[in-house]
Amino acid sequence: MSLVAVSAVPAGNQGNTIYIDDSGSGLIPDGPTNCYIINESGKYLLNESLTHGLKIIANDVTLDGNGYNLTNSIAFGVQVYNCSDVTVRDMDIFGCNWAGIALGEASDCMVEKNCVTDCGKAWGTPGINLWGSVYNKIINNYVYNNTGCGIKANDIANVESERSMYNKIHANTVFENPLGDICVNESVNDVSGNHVTPEEE
């Protein structure tokens, strides 16, 4: 994935866009996970590469990576938790100890045009992980060489509230993930048009 060069812009609220730099200026720190918390709706744009994760707990958020890198050696890259109408796009996420992108109890979200690699070092966590999440779209991402599955939607039998259903997994390129490339129950999710490890096609 190519990087996009932008002029230096201070972190913080600039008009209708909140710029994020590696200091996490203006965001709430979550020290144990080496993350910063986004808890207000709006458009957030990376202004440089990050060495910490981001946790989104607000509805109606657009997180645009602007082509920059994000890595977090302690926990996840981007977590969307207990919210809806969130878009995560256009970033290179690598080297995260947990999932590169995690959707937990999230709905009506879009994850698109990201590159997720070398994530899930702890417990074989997937590159992109959905847990208890419904009606989301995972589209046009590159997901490769993660420790666990490439893309996984948890499906716990007889516990419907914890199942990930009615999600669209489409047009992703997923390969070289040792526990499987797309680990999704296709009977309750729409899985189509993905490019996976050749021997699994």
* Residue 95 falls inside a structural domain: yes
Reported residue count of the chain is 201
The parent domain of residue 108 ranges over 21-196
Q: In this model, does residue 145 exceed pLDDT 80?
A: yes
Give the pLDDT mean for 74-81.
Answer: 97
* Residue 9 falls inside a structural domain: no
Bridge partners (DSSP) of residue 46 are 20
Q: In this model, does residue 187 exceed pLDDT 60?
A: yes
CA 73 to chain centre: 15
Q: How confident is the model at residue 48 (pLDDT cuts 50, 70, 90)?
A: very high
Q: How confident is the model at residue 152 (pLDDT cuts 50, 70, 90)?
A: very high
- The pLDDT, as a whole number, for residue 201 is 42
* Residue 98 falls inside a structural domain: yes
- The pLDDT, as a whole number, for residue 51 is 97
Backbone angles phi, psi at 98, to 5 degrees: -110, -155
* Residue 128 falls inside a structural domain: yes
- The pLDDT, as a whole number, for residue 157 is 61
- C-alpha gyration radius of the chain: 16
* Residue 83 falls inside a structural domain: yes
CATH of the domain at 108: 2.160.20.10
Distance CA 25, CA 19 (A): 9
Distance CA 96, CA 77 (A): 6
Tokens representing 136?
A: 């989301």
Give the pLDDT mean for 65-73.
Answer: 97
* Residue 13 falls inside a structural domain: no
Q: How confident is the model at residue 61 (pLDDT cuts 50, 70, 90)?
A: very high
Distance CA 183, CA 98 (A): 17
pTM of the model: 0.89
Q: How confident is the model at residue 121 (pLDDT cuts 50, 70, 90)?
A: confident
- Total domains present in the chain: 1
CA-closest candidate to residue 34, choices 15, 51, 16: 51
Residues of the chain with pLDDT > 90: what percent?
81
- The pLDDT, as a whole number, for residue 123 is 80
* Residue 71 falls inside a structural domain: yes
* Residue 31 falls inside a structural domain: yes
Residues of the chain with pLDDT > 70: what percent?
88
